[in-house]
Amino acid sequence: MAFFCKENIFMKTESNIYNNPRENNRAFVNNIKTGVIWNSLLGFGRQGLNFLATIILARLLTPEDYGLLGMMAILVSVSEVLMEAGLGAALIKKQDVKEIDYSTLSTYNVVIAIILYALIFFTSPFVSEFYATSSLKLYIRLYAVVILIDSLSIVPKVQLMKDLKFKQLSIINIASGICGLIGAIILALMNTGIFSLIFQYIISSIVLTLSLVIFTKYKPVFSFSLNSFKEMIGFGLNTTGANILKSSTENIFVNAVAKISPLSTAGFFNQSYKLQNVLSSICNTVIDGALFPVLSKESNGSIVRHSTSLNYYSMSLLSFIVFLLIINIEIVILIFLGEKWTGTIPFLKVFLLVGLIQTYTSLNRNLLKSLGITLDILIFETIASICCLSLMLIWGHNVNYLLILLLLYVVLRFSMSIFALHRKNIITIIESIKITLKATMPSLFPFIICTLLTEVYYIKSIVIINLLYIFLFIVISRLVGFNILAFIRRYPNDCK
């Protein structure tokens, strides 16, 4: 769609972006196609494995096991963000990377991983006491081993992403996921309970790290350059702070539910979060694994033109999938997880909507990051987290209030990302709203109509509801000009 590729609508850019526009654009489109295809396969493969693991393990384990896992998630997720510190993204963005840059990153990763593991090891008794679960201390110490293993995988992963070797990275990730799944199933059949979930991550991390090291012939060199570190941290510090705030705030919701609710409710909540993450992780894999490395090699004007067009179509397709899933969520849970997991249904409906808005925000964040504008990302993440956590202190005593707060949090993040684009004269607030509404309305209107027919007029035929939703989506999409097939055919010509 040519509208989203016009420079003067979104920002003032240089008049001559390419020395050879046709040839450069062709290379860009090929890189995008390759990156999106392989990262989509990676996302679907990895999350498909996670979903398969959820289906199998949910029948072998209990909601309480998943509740315990949710208690530990915040420690490991925040630690992994701190370990990488956005330095990998800085090297992907950097044009001229030297060997000392990679060795500096290696040294930082390993040292920070050791420090973080030591902190988790010695603080685990306090966490166990906080949740009044004595066995949690052992689980945390074992689960945190993943941090040490992953510290050796970051540099070879960055090398593959920087060289746009998406195929190799995808195959390695999927293979490691398969190994982790097999190990988890075997352990679950041996009635090991929570240990099967923990070792799923440990086995997958070991296979992933070994495969990356062997394929890239990576040999860790533990030398350190202060100048190199300063250069990388200048880019990575802001994104690291933003990721820590986002990860911590999201995981606080899971831990808050675990604190104020029975362990089974925490299990339903955490399982819903994990299921929603299947779709969100696929989207983030494509955004961070394909769009960011490719866009980072472009000029600023090209980044904005391509990104806004890709964002529009990404929003349109994702909203269609999410609202369709919400309509069918009850039958999906019953078929794949079984009747004992029906407690996840109300949580999962909210989480799917949360994930949709979060992905919208990720697309805006990716545009800012590709342009090297990272401070604004940190600013809006800080404001959103402070507002959310402040309200949580007031309303955090009830699960339903926490769900409302979670929705408010993601809406605030998305609104702040739009404002950040406007403040930097990239895309105006009005244009951002137009893009979002145009992308979302073809799915939202049919969803509202189908929900009313189901809840008010008691039409219970899931086949009729699905056919009506798809029919209305097609009609409204054509009215607003959304045609994904035409976009794929015309995209190389539209953005010349």
One-letter identity of residue 467: L
Report the C-alpha gap between 296 and 362 in whole angstroms.
Answer: 16
Q: Are 481 and 434 in contact (CB under 8 A)?
A: no
Q: What is the pLDDT of residues 160-214, one digit of tens each?
A: 877 767 777 778 888 888 888 888 888 888 888 778 888 888 998 899 899 888 8
One-letter identity of residue 249: T
What DSSP line would sit under 186-223, residue for residue?
A: HHHHTT-THHHHHHHHHHHHHHHHHHHHHHHT------
Name the CA radius of gyration of the chain, rounded.
23
Which pair of tokens denotes residue 435?
């893009």
| Entry pTM | 0.65
Q: What is the pLDDT of residues 139-149, one digit of tens each?
A: 888 888 988 89
Please, which residues have CB within 8 angstroms of residue 326's CB and are 6 or more apart in sequence? Answer: 349, 352, 353, 447
Please, which residues have CB within 8 angstroms of residue 22's CB and are 6 or more apart in sequence? Answer: 496
- Is residue 49 classed exposed, middle or buried when 0-12, 13-18 and 19+ CB atoms within 10 A define those classes? buried
Number of H helices, E strands in the chain: 21, 0
Which pair of tokens denotes residue 43?
């996302």
Q: Which residue has better confidence, 429 or 188?
A: 429
- Is residue 285 classed exposed, middle or buried when 0-12, 13-18 and 19+ CB atoms within 10 A define those classes? buried
| Confidence grade of residue 83 (pLDDT, cut at 50, 70, 90) | low
What DSSP line would sit under 321-353, residue for residue?
A: HHHHHHHTHHHHHHHHT-GGGGGGHHHHHHHHH
Q: Comparing 17-21, 22-26, 408-412, which segment has the lowest mean pLDDT?
A: 17-21
Which region, left, alpha or beta, applies to residue 132 given φ > 0 means left and ψ of -120 to 50 means alpha? left
Report the C-alpha gap between 281 and 289 in whole angstroms.
Answer: 11
Q: What is the pLDDT of residues 440-462, one digit of tens each?
A: 999 999 999 998 888 877 777 88
Eight-state DSSP code of residue 232 = H
Q: Comparing 66-80, 194-208, 340-354, 372-386, which segment has the lowest mean pLDDT?
A: 66-80
Q: Which residue has better confidence, 435 or 281?
A: 435
Report the C-alpha gap between 298 and 5 in whole angstroms.
Answer: 15
